[in-house]
Structure 1
Amino acid sequence: MSKVMKKNLLLLFNCVNYIELKHTIRIMKITTVLTLIAIFQLSATSLHSQNAKVSISRNNLPLKEFINEIERQTDYLFMYSEKEIDLQEQIQVNAKNKPVSQVLEEAFDNSPIKYNFNEGYISLRKAEKGSINQDKRKISGTVKDATGTPVIGANIVVKGTTIGNVTDIDGRFSLEIPQNATLTISYIGYLTQEIAVGNRSDLSIQLKEDSETLDEVVVIGYGTTSAKKMVSAVTAVKGEKLQDLPFPNVASTLQGRASGVIVQNQGGEPGSEPKISIRGGGDPLYVIDGIITTDWEFKTLNSEDIESISILKDAASLAVYGSRAADGIVLVKTKEGRKGKRSIVYSFNAQYSQPTVLPKKLDSYTYADVQNQAAISDGYGEYHQFSKEEMDAIRNQSDPYLYPNTDWYSLGLNNFAPEYRHSLSMTGNQKDINYYLSLGLFDQGSLYTSDALNYSRYNLRSNVNTTFDEIGLKVSLNINAAMEKKKYPSFAANSIWDHLNAKSPLDLAYNEDGTLSTVSDNPLMEMDERSGYDKNDGMYLNTQFVADWALPWVKGLSLGTMLYYRVNSSHLKKLSARAPQYGKDGTLLDVTKPSLKEEAYFGESYQFELSAAFLRTFADVHSIDAKFVFTAAENTGHNFWASRRDYLSTTVDQLFAGSSTTMQNAGNSEEGGRMGLVGRLKYDYANRYYIEGSFRYDGSDNFAPGHRWGFFPSVALGWDITEEPFFKSWNRGKIDLLKLRGSYGQMGTESGVNKFGYLSTYNMVENSICIGGNLLSGFNEGELTSPELLSWYTRNSLNYGIDVAFFNYRLKGSADYFYYVTKGGLVSPADRYTTPLGTKLPQIKSKNEHRREGFELSMRWNDNIGSDFHYEVGTNMTYYNNLYVVKQEEALSTLMNPYKRSTHQTDYYDVILIDNGLYQSPEQVLGVPRRLSSSETKLGDIVYQDLNGDGKIDAEDQIRYGMPTAPHFTYGVDFAFSYKGFSLSGLFYGTGKRNMEFGYNTKKDESIHVKNEYQLDYWREDNRDAIFPRKSLSSSVNGGNNQEKSSFWVKNASFLRLKNLSLAYDFKYKLLKNANWLSMCKVNVTGANLFTISGVSDYFDPETTSTNGGYPVQRVYSVGVTVGF
């Protein structure tokens, strides 16, 4: 290649890199500038003073508008009771640049309304007749909620007077009161209390929840609802429950906390992400603040930013998301700014993790003795593998470089892997602007002694909103960004761990001169930073604008719009190399030269929504809630990669440094679009009878024109029996809630549908055609699909549920039964003829029918003992199973075998042989059926059952066995206690029967694979009750008899685990209670995966993804501090 061409190619690729880097830097600059502007603008504070000036001039001004105007022009917040103050009362105001105190005095002159200043608050009360002219004295006190948390902004008023105050950020208050005074304490969502002060000077007051006003608000698709009125299957998890947990991502924190949610860990490797399913379905849809997004964005959320997570499970809650909602939805609401004093919270956690299970390895002498014992079992002499002299040398370590005793764990692993988490947030309001700003940092190291494996994540969020009360308009601008940086070895982390487990103690790690030895699959070489790296950096930036306008001339009617823009990019760079390895004579091991590959991706997404909503109650009993939404979205993406090989050195890890004769590159672009119309109508009569209908008319570009639109409807009914007059007359407070509900609907799924799969495609094949002795490039035809057949799977959903509450809502619970039927999809025809171009025949529409049913239950008890001790205990459980009614692609031979077929069968682990223990006597060896290839059966081999009775063991004796590894029955028990600043909380999580299989390192016959102490329990004459079969020098004992897939190697991996336990103390409670500049100073000690009860814990962790030794699940210890200002 000419120098000019080289230069042009280099310039082209550098330009691509420069453009991507420039674009990323521009995005980061814009994000930083916007955040700094918001912080500096909103951080500006003004002194609260009664001389703050306002300008208001209007006759017949409603009191509500008067209050809003003062709040808008000053930093004051008003506190009042709507039951006492008539907000529609009209007043006369004529003030131009007058102090607030003067304006209030003039406005309320000759009015029963009295006001009182307290720092940044103005409290309003209506004075009663008469006055108290008695000697006064000063009292103080603290107001807490049912959990013992200080209540900010509670109203404290001396009954019958205008004397009052508002609690501060610590829940404290002080008043000058007359003798024999009675205090009235009120706060939204709690029962108003009256307390006679008597001779007390310091009071401790605990508010009691008002079950009627404190109805939990649950976020659902395209809106919210109250828990009392909800007739669909939705589980809500409060964000505060997920904070301070020592897990690397939000998904892990959900495990065991919500019924219907099944979270499976994917190992403990830094940056690994768990798998989530809802009621046993596939990957759910993720929605964050109303935006449909990816699982990656959900799993990179900062848990401190989460207000709540709602799990949508049935058709009534899912239909509004149409074609992508069949497997459930994880819906996240992030925190937003609210009126109130500015609050700054900083938290830091230092975490240290280690494997939950780390098998004890054999020393070299024991390992060598196993080889000699195996030789004896095979009929050889006592010292067949290692002579007596060699055994003595191994025992005495007289020549550690010829007969080493290598502890691979100590060489390759640290005692702990470090993790650090920082979070800083600020929330409050400035004038009419409410804001929530946050920054987050998470850094996760690995157990490896090198720095080749690391994961870092950075989060930024700015949620700002303001309300124009005069016209009923609320506007929000939300900006959030995240960046994650993954640094892996060029060798897979799981492979490195596998090799650490598989290495023999007699394998030499380092030569005498300290260089790496030439042992194959040397994990120390693989984790060495000279062996290259695999870096994966990704980022996204989201901007969302939302406006909701309550039309002032039509009561209950509002219009809304949402605009959303997302940009994301990723950069992958992998340098494949090997650290130098030397023989004992100093000879350098000859290896393949290094190679480098880089890949860049840039994507953009847009979403637009228009909505209309109507919410109104007629005649106090007929409530109507309707909403209609038009939504459209599109996305684009561009990908480019290039690579070179044969690098002379890894010092210059850039593409130009590789051989130009090996360079490769490729690129592609993609685009997509969607459109939908959403509708929902809810009606309830007297909070007693509920009916709800919803639909989505969905269009997707994944399908051919004429087949792109689908209609997905649902209906739900509910009956709150406790609101019935006949029940109230009988109940008399025994039962607080008894609600029956049911839903039915149809959803769609595009699972398994390729984008533009309805189009004929051709693939370029380079140098595959030989014409005239020359290799030429050509095309082959892609797999064909008929456009008329390519469409959504349809899934019908049925759900029955009941909600209950007893003992003044201290005990609450829900139970649900669910049933799903999925029909359709595409399968390949049974006759595999080919087209002239060598392509298989088009797929055909199947008659497949798959059913899934189950139940879930949740209960929670929440109570207090005295005024200082609060406790709550909750439990939830989920069970499901699957059944194929029709599985068209199943082979006829399998279908005819009732022991093997999937059709009309529930889930199972696998189709395998059933064992009957180990051969224990010669008579047994001769008397039971064997595999035809097992002609050398000996004592200690595995016995198999001849289930079909034909006198031999073969594939016809295999049957369905066990339960899948993915748990079908899960449960969780969480608890929390608090007492005088101390708090203790935890979670137990467990599963029902699930099966896992020993990995190949344990199953192999050859004695050289006995590396762990638990493997010493193999069959010998002196160990007939062994766990494992006999060992041999052969790699395939008795025709591979003992390595057959059978029930012998499949174990019940159900478990009960203490998932997390946390102890915290808030020094603000007593030691720092007088530090008014502090709102909290909490220190916590937390552990995760602290202990496990399981039948497999001696061998591997029941939540591991690989029983062959993949990167292990971690036990975590965490120390943290949270400080609020």
Structure 2
Amino acid sequence: MKVAVFMMFFCVFQLLASNGKAQNAVIELFSNSVTVETLFAEIEKQTDYLVVYSSRELDVKTKILFSKKKAKVSEMLDELLRNTNLKYEHTNNYIVFSKKVSESDVRQQTGRKITGTVVDNNGEAVIGASVHEKGTTNGVITDIEGKFSLEVADKAWLTISYIGYVSQTVPVNGKNHVIIKLAEDTKVLDEVIVIGYGSTSSKKMVAAVTAVKGEKLQDLPFANVTSVLQGRATGVIVQNQGGEPGSVPSVSIRGGGKPLYVIDGVITTDDWEFRTLNPNDIESLSVLKDAASLAVYGSRAADGIIMVKTKEGRKGKTSIVYTFNAQFSQPTVLADKIDSYTYANAQNQAAMSDGHGEYHTYSKEEMDIIRNQSDPLKYPNTDWFDLGLKNFAPEYRHSLSMTGNRKDINYYISLGTFEQGSLYKSDALNYSRYNLRSNVNTTFEEIGLKVAVNINAAYEKKKYPSFSANTIWDHLNNKKPLELAYNQDGTLSSISDHPLMEMDERSGYDKNDGLYVNTQFVADWALPWVKGLSFGTMLNYRLNSSHVKGLSARAPQYNQDGTLVVVTKPSLKEEAYFGDSYSLELNAAYTQTFAEKHTIDAKAVFTVSENNGSYFWASRKDYLSATVDQLFAGSSIGMQNSGNSDEGGRMGLVGRLKYDFDSRYYIEGSFRYDGSDNFAPGHRWGFFPSVALAWDITEEPFFKNLNLKNVNLLKLRGSYGQTGTESGVNRFGYLSTYSLAENAICIGGNLQSGFNEGALVSPELLSWYTRNSLNYGIDVAFFNHRLKGSADYFFYVTKGGLVSPADRYVVPLGTALPQIKSENEHRREGFEASLRWDDKIGSDFYYEVGTNMTYYNNLYVKNQGEALSDLKNPYKRSTHQTDYYGIMYMDNGLYQTPEQVLGVPRRLQSSATKLGDIAYEDINGDGKVDGEDQVRWGMPSAPHFTYGFDFVLGYKGFTLSGLLYGTGKRNMEFGVTTKKNEAIWVLNDYQLDYWREDNRDATFPRISLEALPNGSNNQAASTFWVKNASFLRLKNLTLEYDFKYKLLRNVKWLSTCRANITGANLFTISNVMDYFDPETTSTNGGYPVQRVYSLGVTIGF
């Protein structure tokens, strides 16, 4: 926390710094004669001013002849408004136009004074909104706090308007004060989207990019930003990894590998900085998917980019916002466990299935004792879930932010904490995260310079049991009810894999603390004397460190006679890592419009980065006691330690040129010249270009002549490009390497320390291999942009790649084969689409509904590593095949008659199959079932088809929002304990549906007392155990009320006050929910996916 305190003081010092007030800015036009629209665009481009006007009062298509091309903004505006009834006012950095109030209008007023405040959906002040008395020219604009004061007639109506928002007309009705909430007008807004090394508008977008607004990611009961993305961004596939505290889902873009993350322009190849982001700090998020958007980031962007822009300071009154969420979670699926009597009865039925008598395992007398619980020490009835689990796991989130400006310095500062507990009754498993962010910027208008200093830090604390959370859950889930948990004296019993012992805080721990601090300096200089030309730089320094400490110990267990169970003595291991990196970016940009129709936008970037890391670990064992958990307290006999360091560097040149003709035709070309020290000198550089085209048909004169008012956008897009990849490349594979080993050489019959030679040097000088991508897209908007949609087809081809030449060369004695280039070819193609409708009914009700979907598949054109035997088998080979779940036998149901047992071919490894065992198909009809009868089957568990439905309903301060997320066919297999079909593993109620004479239409095969009955016949990989795990899930549902809408609208010192109740993973439709959660990555008993309930409140001042 010392780091956090230091950075907070640093932020304060930044705020206390002062800067001289900007003088009246000077702009230069390309011609003396321009439209009003062009003038405003140049003012906003060349200065920090934003222009606010009403299109009803000012025709921006009018051409004005100015006396000179270069002048002060105020001089040009005076010329513009000469001989008009309009005026303009400066409010901070806003230039607001409104009508002059005539004397007749003043005389018509009765003297009633009404005051009010205009705010947006988030309760933030709308600065410069126009407030007019309907039917007159009497009006004002709102100040920096969104407030206004106006003299109106008694029965007047007020019309409130602001660009980008839906206008409202409300009656005064004798009121003296009103609060007006303006909703965003999607018919007017052209969303700004952050892309690589810049930004663009949604209308001018030529690449495949999905944008998500930061407000969509807030106030949701998920542990990290990654989870929130699921179902919200087209092309992004998020797969849950379970519900363990601190766990993070896996992410892919269009089914590719791990994406690259770019946060405020800084590249990071791991997801640490992204997953630890405070969602409330995010302004916007963009997902870059095709070569047109990825090429500028080169090799590391081959699998897509998730780009984040965090919030910045803004001019206006200081605003402080505090958010609190209390969350409670429980498993989405928790199987009903059977009691001891049912368990014992299953053992007896298994004995009968094996040919034994009715009471072979437990006698009739024992069954009566178990049923009556007359001897609970010998025949207990243990409810392991009740002993080990709480009803709910607690989670708490706090977020505090401050934004505003002081002496021309804009600032955004935030603090956040997140604490996540577990379901275990002990405190052995928990996760905490602490965030700090400071984004400070200022502008020197007279020289066109904008400077920003950003600091971001996160500190994570993970505490796990030494036995791991998943191991404990596995043991807790698979313990038998007839196993004793506690002895009569209350001590832990002596059973093996005792989950209550494992979660006991005396049984050691694994603590993992991680810290990263990211500092960033950004400067952008728009040259005042060269219109459209700017230079910029970004310098970033990042440090990250982690400390892992693991104490392996066991809480004491006792036999029933009171003797202590002898166990291995405690041991301790510590690991430490420190890494830092820097990156420098220099860029130049030029933007210019010629003859009002031709716009070019050019950018050149030079980047260089370097990273360093060092790692150390040490361990000792045979501790006399686990009380002193320090390395010195362990035995020096057998102690171990090791360490290493690494460094790396990259360099790149980026170029991009965009041309726009009359907002109709767009062409964009970009490239990156990338260098990596993974390759030998002379082979380190790769050139990766892309080109993109777009045609906005709605801007064509012929289309406008059709007068299709309900068609607002019809844009066709296409892109082709190439990205490099170095995935799987061994560093310094072009050099001979040696390693020091304790047992490197044998001298005189004794092993001695020495050097080992590494893998052989590749006979080829390796370099980049490439991925080519093709993307076609269409963007549409109808009915005044209330209905918007897009669709894309994508196609990727990856050629080359590195493999071990084991099929070409004999492995030499004592070393490994080098990597060589392969002739592999892999294709991935698919499509994605999204559609959204938003509208308002009356003045009180608004709604949004949207849907999105993504589908992809892989085709292995050539797989050089495939075994020759598989390649010859058309049912098993992967070459020229799309994705599948696995290679397995096709089941033919369960044997139901003796004739089937004798007449149906069985696996060669199976023996003495019986009624109720699994029968398999003889695919090739050769009268036997062997490896040649195995086939490709099913779809991978990673979903290839995903979809989402989201909605927002708002009415008089109430907002109801939700998201449904689902997948197409994906297959998952039952866990090992279920597949064993041993009677001792029949622990869940659903497992009682096993085959027996009176239950022939059973879900599971017969059970047996044998460990692997019938030559493991029923345990073979087959379609019998694989289920369709597709699902549709209500990911979240939120009901929120805004108290400022009515109850607290007159409380002036309170800018925001909202409360919400939210649920996550509330219900699921799936074929496998009776057995396991379809989103889990393990059906063998890992820590489960959670259902979450949340209460939240947001207060702003």
Name the TM tier (shorter chain).
Answer: over 0.9
Quote how far apart the aligned CAs of 1:755 are. Answer: 2.6
Alignment partners' CA distance in 1, 2:119 and 2:843: 9
| Partners of 2:101 and 2:139 within 8 A in 1 | no
Output the amino acid matched with 2:222: F
Alignment partners' CA distance in 2, 1:982 and 1:59: 47
2:210 maps to what in 1?
Answer: 235
| Residue 786 in structure 1 maps to residue 762 in structure 2 | yes
Q: How does 1:947-1026 map to 2 (within 5 A)?
A: 947-1026=923-1002
1:577 maps to what in 2?
Answer: 553
Output the amino acid matched with 1:903: T
Quote how far apart the aligned CAs of 1:828 are. Answer: 1.9
Alignment partners' CA distance in 2, 1:205 and 1:481: 38
Superimposed CA distance per residue, residues 148-206 of structure 1 (whole angstroms, 9 cap, x where no aligned partner): 9974541224587675241775x664411258978664423347788898999787877
| Residue 627 in structure 1 maps to residue 603 in structure 2 | yes
Q: How does 1:1070-1109 map to 2 (within 5 A)?
A: 1070-1109=1046-1085
| Partners of 1:766 and 1:778 within 8 A in 2 | yes
Equivalent residue in structure 1 for 2:100, among 121, 127, 139: 127
| Partners of 2:688 and 2:724 within 8 A in 1 | yes
SS at the partner of 1:529? coil
Output the amino acid matched with 1:693: G
Shift in CA distance, 338/117, structure 1 to aligned 2, threshold 3 Å: closer
1:559 maps to what in 2?
Answer: 535
Equivalent residue in structure 2 for 1:849, among 825, 833, 850: 825
Unaligned runs of 5+ in 2: 30-39, 41-48, 72-77
SS at the partner of 2:881? coil
Superimposed CA distance per residue, residues 863-908 of structure 1 (whole angstroms, 9 cap, x where no aligned partner): 0110110000000000000001111111111111111000000000
TM norm structure 2: 0.92
TM norm structure 1: 0.90
SS at the partner of 2:736? coil
Equivalent residue in structure 1 for 2:277, among 286, 294, 301: 301
RMSD of aligned alpha carbons: 3.3
Shift in CA distance, 184/787, structure 1 to aligned 2, threshold 3 Å: farther
Superimposed CA distance per residue, residues 26-62 of structure 1 (whole angstroms, 9 cap, x where no aligned partner): x4553242134357779x9xxxxxxxx9998999999
1:671 maps to what in 2?
Answer: 647
Alignment partners' CA distance in 2, 1:487 and 1:87: 71
Moved more, 1011-1020 or 171-180: 171-180
Quote how far apart the aligned CAs of 1:844 are. Answer: 2.2
1:600 maps to what in 2?
Answer: 576
Unaligned runs of 5+ in 1: 1-23, 45-52, 68-75, 94-104
SS at the partner of 1:466? strand
Shift in CA distance, 40/595, structure 1 to aligned 2, threshold 3 Å: farther
| Partners of 2:452 and 2:521 within 8 A in 1 | yes
Alignment partners' CA distance in 1, 2:530 and 2:167: 34
| Partners of 1:142 and 1:203 within 8 A in 2 | yes
| Partners of 2:123 and 2:1056 within 8 A in 1 | no
Shift in CA distance, 618/181, structure 1 to aligned 2, threshold 3 Å: farther
Quote how far apart the aligned CAs of 1:841 are. Answer: 3.2
Quote how far apart the aligned CAs of 1:918 are. Answer: 0.3
Alignment partners' CA distance in 2, 1:767 and 1:145: 71
| Partners of 2:98 and 2:141 within 8 A in 1 | no
Moved more, 840-849 or 814-823: 840-849
1:278 maps to what in 2?
Answer: 253
| Partners of 1:509 and 1:516 within 8 A in 2 | yes
SS at the partner of 1:399? coil
| Partners of 1:143 and 1:167 within 8 A in 2 | no
2:804 maps to what in 1?
Answer: 828
Alignment partners' CA distance in 1, 2:334 and 2:219: 27
1:528 maps to what in 2?
Answer: 504
SS at the partner of 1:370? helix
Quote how far apart the aligned CAs of 1:843 are. Answer: 2.8
| Partners of 1:165 and 1:175 within 8 A in 2 | no
| Residue 806 in structure 1 maps to residue 779 in structure 2 | no
1:749 maps to what in 2?
Answer: 725
Q: How does 1:139-150 map to 2 (within 5 A)?
A: 139=114, 143=118
| Partners of 1:121 and 1:166 within 8 A in 2 | no
| Partners of 1:185 and 1:194 within 8 A in 2 | yes
Alignment partners' CA distance in 2, 1:473 and 1:148: 32
1:100 maps to what in 2?
Answer: none
Q: How does 1:542-557 map to 2 (within 5 A)?
A: 542-557=518-533
Output the amino acid matched with 2:227: S
Alignment partners' CA distance in 1, 2:551 and 2:121: 57
Shift in CA distance, 1034/56, structure 1 to aligned 2, threshold 3 Å: closer
| Partners of 1:189 and 1:214 within 8 A in 2 | yes
Equivalent residue in structure 2 for 1:688, among 664, 689, 695: 664
Output the amino acid matched with 1:847: E
2:327 maps to what in 1?
Answer: 351
Alignment partners' CA distance in 2, 1:364 and 1:736: 68
Quote how far apart the aligned CAs of 1:591 are. Answer: 1.0
Shift in CA distance, 385/539, structure 1 to aligned 2, threshold 3 Å: same
2:1009 maps to what in 1?
Answer: 1033
Quote how far apart the aligned CAs of 1:413 are. Answer: 0.6
Quote how far apart the aligned CAs of 1:660 are. Answer: 1.2
Output the amino acid matched with 1:352: F
Q: How does 1:888-927 map to 2 (within 5 A)?
A: 888-927=864-903
SS at the partner of 2:199? strand
| Partners of 1:418 and 1:444 within 8 A in 2 | yes
Alignment partners' CA distance in 2, 1:182 and 1:1056: 48
Alignment partners' CA distance in 2, 1:746 and 1:435: 40
Equivalent residue in structure 1 for 2:1038, among 1062, 1067, 1071: 1062
Output the amino acid matched with 2:100: A
SS at the partner of 1:790? coil
Alignment partners' CA distance in 2, 1:828 and 1:289: 39
Alignment partners' CA distance in 2, 1:153 and 1:57: 19
Quote how far apart the aligned CAs of 1:861 are. Answer: 0.2
2:472 maps to what in 1?
Answer: 496
Moved more, 133-142 or 547-556: 133-142
Quote how far apart the aligned CAs of 1:933 are. Answer: 3.1
Quote how far apart the aligned CAs of 1:718 are. Answer: 0.4
| Partners of 1:77 and 1:340 within 8 A in 2 | no
Alignment partners' CA distance in 2, 1:966 and 1:1105: 9
Q: How does 1:372-387 map to 2 (within 5 A)?
A: 372-387=348-363
Alignment partners' CA distance in 1, 2:669 and 2:946: 31
Alignment partners' CA distance in 1, 2:867 and 2:482: 49
Alignment partners' CA distance in 1, 2:825 and 2:99: 67
2:338 maps to what in 1?
Answer: 362
| Partners of 1:442 and 1:457 within 8 A in 2 | yes
Number of residue pairs the alignment of both structures matches: 1069
| Residue 138 in structure 1 maps to residue 119 in structure 2 | no
Superimposed CA distance per residue, residues 426-476 of structure 1 (whole angstroms, 9 cap, x where no aligned partner): 111112111111000000000001100010000000001111111111111
Shift in CA distance, 587/199, structure 1 to aligned 2, threshold 3 Å: closer
Shift in CA distance, 835/56, structure 1 to aligned 2, threshold 3 Å: closer
Q: How does 1:415-426 map to 2 (within 5 A)?
A: 415-426=391-402
| Residue 731 in structure 1 maps to residue 699 in structure 2 | no
1:506 maps to what in 2?
Answer: 482
Shift in CA distance, 838/548, structure 1 to aligned 2, threshold 3 Å: same
Q: How does 1:24-35 map to 2 (within 5 A)?
A: 25=2, 27-28=3-4, 30-35=6-11
Superimposed CA distance per residue, residues 628-668 of structure 1 (whole angstroms, 9 cap, x where no aligned partner): 10010001111111111110001110000000122211111
1:48 maps to what in 2?
Answer: none
Shift in CA distance, 196/538, structure 1 to aligned 2, threshold 3 Å: closer
Alignment partners' CA distance in 2, 1:609 and 1:282: 26
SS at the partner of 2:706? helix
Equivalent residue in structure 2 for 1:252, among 215, 227, 252: 227
| Partners of 2:938 and 2:970 within 8 A in 1 | yes
Equivalent residue in structure 1 for 2:404, among 407, 428, 441: 428
Quote how far apart the aligned CAs of 1:925 are. Answer: 1.0
| Partners of 2:381 and 2:481 within 8 A in 1 | yes
Quote how far apart the aligned CAs of 1:789 are. Answer: 3.9
Moved more, 77-86 or 940-949: 77-86
Quote how far apart the aligned CAs of 1:119 are. Answer: 12
Alignment partners' CA distance in 2, 1:217 and 1:837: 60
| Partners of 1:319 and 1:746 within 8 A in 2 | yes
